[in-house]
Amino acid sequence: MTETLSLPETHDRATRYQALIPQIKALIQDEDDLIASLANTAAGLFQGLNVLWVGFYLVKHKELVLGPFQGPIACTRIKQHQGVCGQSWAQRKTLIVDNVDDFPGHIACSSASKSEIVVPIWVQNQVVGVLDIDSIHLNDFSHTDQVALEDLNLTLSTKF
């Protein structure tokens, strides 16, 4: 198991994902524990993307419950339809929010968060959790992030 990531010296997200995603997949490939896999994925994305917050919320008892994350303290429970995470879960799709202040009902766990991407994790046609990433920059996420993170979540879905 590698304990460090090898990342290119560039801010180009597509290039960083090309290096980062295979390393995260290799890191969790032989791990059968969900929490360990989510924890290392959060750490890898946090380190590789240089963002404010990366973490997972897992569907438990009809709400999203905080899972492994990297970054500032976070909201512990989110109801369906509440905030970006709850809306992503309810709508069953990835949501990219360029400016969280413009998102109706946004939950401000950190006032430093300016933009956000939330990507559902699917198992047997059910959303079992979401990957949530927050940035201190407006308009920080794009289709490039969506494609890479949805691909990564396919791998994570095998851990549930």
∠ CA 11-40-108, nearest 5°, is 70
- N- to C-terminal Cα separation, the chain: 21
Contact between 49 and 59 under an 8 Å Cβ cutoff? The reply is no
* 96 pLDDT higher than 70: yes
Tokens of 19: 């290096």
Residue 59, Cβ neighbours under 10 Å: how many? 18
Q: Is the pLDDT of residue 37 over 90?
A: yes
* DSSP one-letter string for 54-102: EEEEEEETTEEEEEEEESS---SEEETTSHHHHHHHHHTS-EEES-GGG
What is the set of domains in the chain, with CATH numbers?
Answer: 13-157 (3.30.450.40)
pLDDT digits (tens, 9 = 90+) for 43-94: 999 999 999 999 999 999 999 999 999 999 999 999 999 999 999 999 999 9
Smallest Cα–Cα separation from 113: which of 93, 86, 133? 133
Phi, psi at residue 155, to the nearest 5°? Answer: -65, -45
Please write the tens of the pLDDT for every residue from 118-160.
Answer: 999 999 999 999 999 999 999 999 999 999 999 999 999 999 9
Residues 111 and 100 sit within 8 Å (Cβ to Cβ): no
Distance CA 101, CA 15 (A): 29
> Is residue 108's pLDDT more than 90?
no
